[in-house]
A and B are shown apart, each in its own frame.
Chain A
Amino acid sequence: MTWLTTIWVEAKRAPALALLWSLAGALVIYVFATGGYLIAVLQFAAIYVVFVTGLNIFMGFAGQVSFGHNAFAAIGGYTSAVLTATYGWEPLPAAALGILGALLCALIIGYPTLRLRGHYLAMATLAIGLIVYEVAVQWQSVTQGYMGISGIPPIGIGRFAVTSDRAILVCLIAIAALGVAAAAGIRHSRLGRALVAIAGSEDAARALGIDVARYKLIALLISAFYAALAGSLFVHAVGFVSPEVFGLHMVVLAFTMLYVGGIGTVAGAALGALMIALLPETVRRFSEYQDLAYGALLILILIYAPGGLASLSRIGWRRRVKEVA
């Protein structure tokens, strides 16, 4: 099991990181036992683990920039919502069609722009994010505009629907874990190495025979898949969707998670998503000062772990490097 080894190797390098993971695990168990509002928070966190893990493949592994992955989440989410709530489809084929739509959209904007060097794709993604938002607002006959679509059924296959909060949480955590495992598998494969090589030096990658444009597109498609999946999961978990759900704030939130967790590392992306999703809840006791506390915590993390939480590992890592040299 390559991904188990990956996790183990990353944990050995980083006792601090392993501790954070254990805390996260303990928290999940605690919330699962006590129930209540925190279950919804953890559901939200698990969905963002999926979204950010995908974004990390494009931005962390391949070193590209996207401001518009919320568009792919919106395409996945709205397709699921409209087809299941309005037309009575099964959740699974609806989600599959939503993912297919997101992949098609990624292909259309990625194919021409990823052949160019520079920030053309970043600009194109910003545009597609805004366009999809506007479509969600204006196409009222289908999306019901700002009102949004409610009454979206829970995830399920045929007669078996996952309805209880706890069951939904288990389901989401399982999917998130699969997503993280897949990302770890990708990172340590030929494909993943090609992506990280592109981030390191496009010229060197090409000189070794890596088709840079092709691999960037593959990375975009994989991350669009994750984003669309996260969108579908979201609408089924919450039962409601409106344009605001997939607004620009989703991008800002995902960037925060990515950088606080540690961009480029599999564990960092997932951990960042978990931490940032839970942080507002932890600082809530400071009542009117909660935004201040939230901001202060973020700044502290970025000062003492500028490479994100995963870089807590690299402190121990550097010590080992010195011994070798």
Chain B
Amino acid sequence: MTLLALEGVTQRFGGLVALDNVSLKVAAGGTTAIIGPNGAGKTTLFNVISGFRVPTEGHVIFNGTDITGRAPEAVARRGLVRTFQLVQLFETLTVLENVKVGRHLHTRGGLMSALMPLRARSIEAQVASIAHDLLRRVGLSAQAETLASALPYGQKRLLEIARALAAEPRLLLLDEPAAGLNRGETGQLAELIRIIAAQGVTVLLIEHDMSFVMNVADRVAVLDFGKLIAQGSPAEVQKDKDVIAAYLGTMEAAHA
């Protein structure tokens, strides 16, 4: 079953074509990686999928519904949750509170329940217990009461993922999750992504780190200058001539 389908998505910025007629199907289940050199249009593609940018042409179909041009919060409500290339935490909140914010879509209550301590308490207890579970999964339990701004970079990334998981996504978009992580942290992250996928959340990620991609992805799609130039299993893509040319330059260039 196809969970996400891009149909002829084109994004122009003035004369620059950031995405050129990209069509891509992401099946439900497993992990798909989008790779490509710097400036290939990967983040633009993520912005289009998650509703932060309306494409010039084309459609984004999520779970059978056309979500092209829907606002990010409306996209999130349907179960498509993203993280950011530059980690976007709520820095003045504690680690635990960050994850609690992630429960927004799965809780109810506005001003009235905020002013009724008894009703608020039972909702809050439930939110707290789910948030603690998620922190345990990413290994941040000990830091629950720390301010998010005080975390080292690698843990900030893990926290952002825990917060996204709190929203119970069907499709989780990770924008360069391994960027800035050391080798140990990258291994830990790969393990976490495998567990998330095994629990039935479809993962779509952008990545530079090829060994990381080969390690976690079931399918790989390659973008170059806004065009989709290859897709397939990691092994197939690694052997693809166009992909090698995009990453290393053409054979002639390599000889020169």
A interface residues (Cβ-Cβ under 8 A, vs B): 1-3, 182, 185-186, 188-194, 196-197, 199-201, 203-212, 218, 222, 264, 317-318, 321, 324-325
Pair A324/B117 contact, Cβ less than 8 Å? no
Pair A208/B104 contact, Cβ less than 8 Å? yes
B91: Cβ under 8 A from any A Cβ = yes
Pair B115/A196 contact, Cβ less than 8 Å? no
Beyond contacts A189-B113, A204-B89: 18 other A-B pairs, Cβ-Cβ < 8 A, are: A2-B120, A2-B124, A191-B111, A194-B104, A200-B89, A200-B92, A203-B52, A206-B52, A207-B88, A208-B105, A208-B163, A209-B77, A209-B167, A212-B73, A218-B111, A264-B92, A324-B142, A325-B143
Q: Which residues of B contact A264 (CB under 8 A)?
A: 92
B102: Cβ under 8 A from any A Cβ = yes
B50: Cβ under 8 A from any A Cβ = yes
B97: Cβ under 8 A from any A Cβ = yes
Q: Which residues of A contact B72 (CB under 8 A)?
A: 203, 206-207
Q: Select A204's contact among B77, B84, B114, B124, beta carbons within 8 Å.
A: B84
Q: Which residues of A contact B93 (CB under 8 A)?
A: 193, 196-197, 200
Q: Which residues of B contact A193 (CB under 8 A)?
A: 93, 97, 100-101, 104
Known: A190-B110, A191-B114, A201-B88. A207 touches B50 (CB 8 A): yes
Complex alpha-carbon distance, A325 and B155, angstroms: 11
Q: Select A185's contact among B76, B102, B117, B127, beta carbons within 8 Å.
A: B117
Q: Which residues of A contact B108 (CB under 8 A)?
A: 190
B interface residues (Cβ-Cβ under 8 A, vs A): 50, 52, 71-73, 76-77, 81-84, 88-93, 97, 100-105, 107-111, 113-115, 117, 120-121, 123-124, 127, 142-143, 145-147, 150, 152, 163-164, 167
Q: Select B82's contact among A191, A201, A207, A324, beta carbons within 8 Å.
A: A207
Q: List 16 A-B contacts (CB under 8 A).
A: A1-B117, A182-B115, A186-B114, A186-B115, A189-B113, A190-B103, A197-B90, A200-B93, A201-B88, A204-B89, A206-B72, A207-B82, A208-B167, A209-B105, A210-B101, A324-B145
Pair A200/B91 contact, Cβ less than 8 Å? yes
Best-buried of A193, A194, A218, A317 by chain B (most CB within 10 Å): A193
